[in-house]
Amino acid sequence: MAENFPDSPSTSERPREKLERLGLVAMTDAELVAIVLGHGMAGWSAHQLAHLLLEQAAGIHGVTRMTRDQLCQMPGIGTAQASRVLASVELGRRTLTQRPTERPQFLTPRVAAGHLLPKYGAHPVERFGVVLLDTKHRLLRTHIVTEGTIDSSLAHPREVFRVAVGGGAACVMVFHNHPSGDPTPSRADHALTHRLVRAGAIVGVPLVDHLVLADGVYWSFQENHLI
């Protein structure tokens, strides 16, 4: 081994500990590769093996061109570690070559209902969910807040907007299903909607609609000019 080969880092500076403490941006190429390798071999830490790999590959870009056989010829790198390196390289490549799936944009209640009905409309138990939207009403994610009995489900504005604020939503849409098959909102549905509108105004995350879903049909508070 070369005399100038890096020493194994102290426990406080091991790659995994450094990652937890300082985050990904602070990591060197060798430290990231060491995390992918997972472990070293007798007398060699994963960090030292990573340095050797990068040296033999002439840098991180060279690693992306290495085959499984070439990796397995490196000291201390077996088939499992080679597979992890190849998998990490492929994941990085896919982020550059594959376009992310375009998020649906809910500009009308009909479009939103078309997205939600197949998943939630015919469920035998009432469920209440919140749809997190960005500033252009594109879907961030959908979260089920509560799941109730056959005819009732409780949802508190605090839970709805806790999810919304934590998820970085610019606005929200809520929904629940009626297992009876009739999407007509109850008095309780109206009362909850008004509470959610007020709560959204307070926290700065407006409620844009409340959809009541049934098997293949829906009822929208926005379409009926109640929001």
Q: Kindly state whether residue 102 falls inside one of the protein's structural domains.
A: no
User: In terms of residue numbers, what domain contains 114?
Assistant: 109-220
Among the candidates 97, 121, 154, a domain finishes at 97
Amino acid occupying residue 172:
V
Q: Count the domains in the chain.
A: 2
Q: Are residues 67 and 160 in the same domain?
A: no
Between 175 and 18, where is the model more confident? Answer: 175
Q: For residue 35, what are the contacts with CB-CB under 8 A and spacing of at least 6?
A: 15, 16, 19, 27, 46
Q: Kindly state whether residue 73 falls inside one of the protein's structural domains.
A: yes
Is the pLDDT at 125 greater than 70, yes or no?
yes
- Whether residue 51 contacts residue 75, with contact meaning beta carbons closer than 8 Å, is answered with no
Q: Are residues 83 and 173 in the same domain?
A: no
Between 172 and 67, where is the model more confident? Answer: 172
pLDDT of residue 11: 47
CA within 13 Å, CB half, 188: 8
Is the pLDDT at 118 greater than 70, yes or no?
yes
What global pTM score does this model have? 0.60
